[in-house]
Amino acid sequence: MKSALPSPPGVEAAAPAIRSPRNASWRTPACLLVATFVAVGGASPSRATSLPGGGPAATDCYVVLNAQGTALAARPNRLECKDGDPQCDQDGDCHNGSCKFRVRVCIDQDGCQAPSALRSLQIGPAKLAIPRPTTLSGAACGDFADVPVSLKGKGKTRPGKQVIVLKARAQGAKSTDIDKDTLVCLPRPASEPCPTTTTSTLPPIVVPTTSTSTSTTSTSATTSTIVTTTTMLGGTSTTTTTLCPPLVVGQPIPNTYRLNGTTGEKRCTTNSASNRFGLCSTDADCGGTAGACMTLPWVTADGQVMPFSTGTQTTFTVATEGAAPMCEHNLCIPCGNPNASCAGIPGCEVADNPNGCVPRGTQGCCDQPAFIVPTFFVNILGGLCSRVDQIGCGGGVVNTSNPQSGHNKVTKNGDTSDPGADCCYNGHPASECLNNTNLNDDPTLAAQGGCSVNGAGVDYKGKIVKAIGGGATDAPGIHFRYTVPELSTTWTDGQSPPGTCANGSTYDDGELLVSQLILKADTTTSGATGSFTDLNGDGCKRAGAGFISASNAATDGPITVPGAESGGPARPQAYEGSTGSVAAAVSEVFSGPNSPIRDIGFVAITPQNAAVVVPALSCSCTVQPDCPE
C-alpha cells in the first residue's frame, strides 16, 4: 500500500490530503484494486474503492471518485454492488431494493503528472450535493456523501444506476479530466441469504493477479487487525498483523506533526469560589468570583489569571510506530542548539546580568524551537508582557489505541524543602535520587532559614515527584503527553503603549523584569493534578503563594484538571480528526529570589486543533533528570 502524502504548504487546515494508491494503467487486472486508507474509529472509512475514470493517462488523476468499502471496481469508471453487500452497500439492509453508495471526490491524485492546482472543478448532477474539496491546490479530498441507487422494475428485479460526472481543469494549462462514473445497484434474489457481517470485521478482500501460480491470497481487516491467509500446494498459512490507528487519517504514523493552538469553551478558573474548571457562561457560574469565567486558553499562577496566546505551535516527530494494541508512540520535540542567542529576551544576555535574570535565562534558548508561544499580554500591575521560550528538547508519547487503553494522567507533588545535591530526601529509596545514590545530605529546615518566603522559599531548590498513570483508562480518542523545558519571562515593556503588549515585543536591557520561571510543563490531554506536599516530614511544604494565594485554604491543592471521562476540560483528539484536543498542565514552581511570590503553582489549559502533517524534521532527545524534578 502506498502511503498518503503530506498536505502541501498552506492547506494544513483543509480536508486531509490523500493520494490514491493506483497505477496509471488499468489494463492489468491486478490494478483493479481497492485503495486502502487507514482510518480511526467508526466515523471514518477504513477502505475505499478508487474510480479514476479511465480517460487519457496524462490527465486521469486530476479528479477521482472514491467509494467507501472494499468492493472491486468492474471498470475504471464503473462500480457494481449487489443489494445488501456490506463491501459497498452502506444502508445495512439486504432486501430493501436499494444500494447506498458513500462517495467523495479527490483531486490531484497519483497516476499521472498532477497539476499544482486546478482552475475549476465541476461535480454533477448537483442534486447529489457531493462536497468539493476545500481547496483546489495540491492533493485533497472532499467529505463523503451518500448516493442512494434504487433497483428498477415493479418487483425491483432489474439493476439501477446513477451516473456521476466530474470535470477538472488544470490551472495554467488547457488539459482537462472528464470522468463519467457509473454506480450500479444489482438485485439480490429473494431466495439468496443476506451476507453475514459483524461490527468488527470487514468482508474479505480478494486482490486479483495475472500470475498462473496455484496460490491465492485473501485479506480480512478491521481498523486494527489484518488476517492474511495464503493457500498453496501443500497447505495453508495464516498471519495476523495488528495495526495501530494513525494520528492523521491516511498518513503513516512515523511522521512529523504540528499541533496549533486555538480557542475553546468558557471554563471557571483555578481561583473560582465554586465549579473550578467547570463549564460556565458568566462569573455567577463560578461562585461569583470576578473574572473567573474565561474562554480557553488561559493560564493561572498564584491566583493570577492570564489569557494565553492562541498562536501556540508544538511540532514533534514520531520515528517509530509503537506496538499494537497499546499503540503508544514515542514523540520527540526538537530544539536545535539550546544555548543559542535568545532573540526574545536580549535583556538577559547583557554582561554581568544587571537585569537580574535567572542563571538559566542568561544561557540562551533553542535556535530551532519546535514549541512556540508568541508574546502575550498579562493584565496585572498596569499591563505586562510575557513570553515562553524553549530551552531544551522535549519528549513524550502519543497514544492512538482504539479502544483507548492508555493511562496518561500526570500527577506532580512538590515540596519546597531543599533535598540536597542528590535531589532526594534523607532515607528515601536510592531509585528516587540522581545517579541512583542517596547522599543523605539534606540541610535542616533551620539551616534553610525556616519555612518562610525568606527561608526555604528564597531559592530554586525543592523536590517535585511526578507520577504518570493511575485512575480510569483515558477517554476514547488520540492522547498526547509531553514535557518541554521552558523559560517563562514577564516584564514591563518600554516600547508598548501603556496597558498593552505589542505583538513581537522582546525583553530588552533596562526594562523591569517582573518574574522569570524555569518550567518543565508536563502537558497531557488525559488530565493533570498538582499539589504542595510535605514529602520529607519536616512540616514545611510551601513558602509562597501556592496555586491561588497564600491566604487561601485550597492553595496547596491538590488541584486537578479532570479528563473527558470525568467531564473535565482535558480531552483527546477525535480519532478521525474532526475535533482537536485540549491539553492541561499543572505543576509547582520554586521561583526563587527574583519573584516576590516565591513558591507558586501554575495551571494551563490550552485547546489545540487536530494534528496535521508538516515537512519532515529530525529529532533525537533524551530528557535529562535534574532537580527539582
Which cell is 511 given? Answer: 526594562
pLDDT in tens, 355-404: 889 888 899 999 999 999 989 888 777 789 999 999 999 999 999 999 99
Mean pLDDT check: name the lowest of 21-35, 437-451, 513-527. 21-35
What are the residues whose beta carbons fall under 8 Å from the beta carbon of 324, sequence distance 6 or more?
Answer: 224, 242, 243, 244, 401
Mean pLDDT for 105-109 is: 90
Mean pLDDT for 148-163 is: 93
In whole angstroms, what is the distance from residue 542 CA to residue 560 CA? 18
Task: List the one residue out of 171, 210, 167 whose CA is nearest residue 53.
Answer: 167
Choice between 552 and 18, residue whose per-residue pLDDT is larger: 552
The maximal CA–CA distance of the chain, rounded, in angstroms, is 97
- SS3 for 109? coil
Mean pLDDT check: name the lowest of 148-162, 212-226, 517-531. 212-226
Q: Which amino acid is at 181?
A: D
State the DSSP string of 31-67.
GS-EEP----SSSS-S-EEEE--S--TTTTTSEEEEE
The answer to whether residues 297 and 264 touch, using CB atoms and an 8 Å cutoff, is yes
Strand partners for 140: 107
* 236 — pLDDT class (breaks 50, 70, 90): low
The answer to whether residues 286 and 273 touch, using CB atoms and an 8 Å cutoff, is yes
Residue 221 backbone class (left: φ over 0; alpha: ψ -120 to 50; beta: rest): beta
The answer to whether residues 612 and 260 touch, using CB atoms and an 8 Å cutoff, is yes
Choice between 9 and 306, residue whose per-residue pLDDT is larger: 306
Place of cell 528538547: 393
Residues of the chain with pLDDT > 70: what percent? 85
SS3 content of the chain, % helix, strand, coil (to 5): 5, 35, 60
Mean pLDDT check: name the lowest of 85-89, 224-228, 300-304, 531-535. 224-228
Which cell is 567 given? Answer: 467531564
Strand partners for 240: 227
In whole angstroms, what is the distance from residue 371 CA to residue 290 CA? 32
* 591 — pLDDT class (breaks 50, 70, 90): confident
Mean pLDDT check: name the lowest of 225-239, 406-420, 540-554, 569-583. 225-239
pTM of the model: 0.64
Quick check: 423 pLDDT over 80?
yes
In whole angstroms, what is the distance from residue 81 CA to residue 49 CA? 12
In whole angstroms, what is the distance from residue 81 CA to residue 104 CA? 17
Q: What is the mean pLDDT of the chain?
A: 84
Model pLDDT, residue 190: 82
Q: Which amino acid is at 15?
A: A
Quick check: 139 pLDDT over 90?
no
Distance set, CA 504 to CA 380, 512, 604 (Å): 19, 17, 22
pLDDT in tens, 264-294: 999 999 999 999 999 999 999 999 999 999 9
- SS3 for 491? strand
Quick check: 556 pLDDT over 50?
yes
Place of cell 538559566: 360
Angle (CA) 60 64 69, round 5° = 135
Mean pLDDT check: name the lowest of 219-233, 336-350, 477-491. 219-233
Most confident option among 76-80, 112-116, 228-232: 76-80
Task: List the one residue out of 14, 12, 11, 52 whose CA is nearest residue 32.
Answer: 52
The answer to whether residues 343 and 507 touch, using CB atoms and an 8 Å cutoff, is no
Mean pLDDT for 444-460 is: 93
Angle (CA) 9 578 66, round 5° = 75
Q: How far is CA 52 from the centre of its chain?
A: 32
Model pLDDT, residue 5: 34
Model pLDDT, residue 137: 86
The radius of gyration computed from the CA coordinates of the chain, to the nearest angstrom, equals 29
DSSP type of residue 152 = B
- SS3 for 217? strand
Quick check: 229 pLDDT over 80?
no
Q: CB-based burial of residue 301 (10 Å sphere; 0-12 exposed, 13-18 middle, 19+ buried)?
A: buried
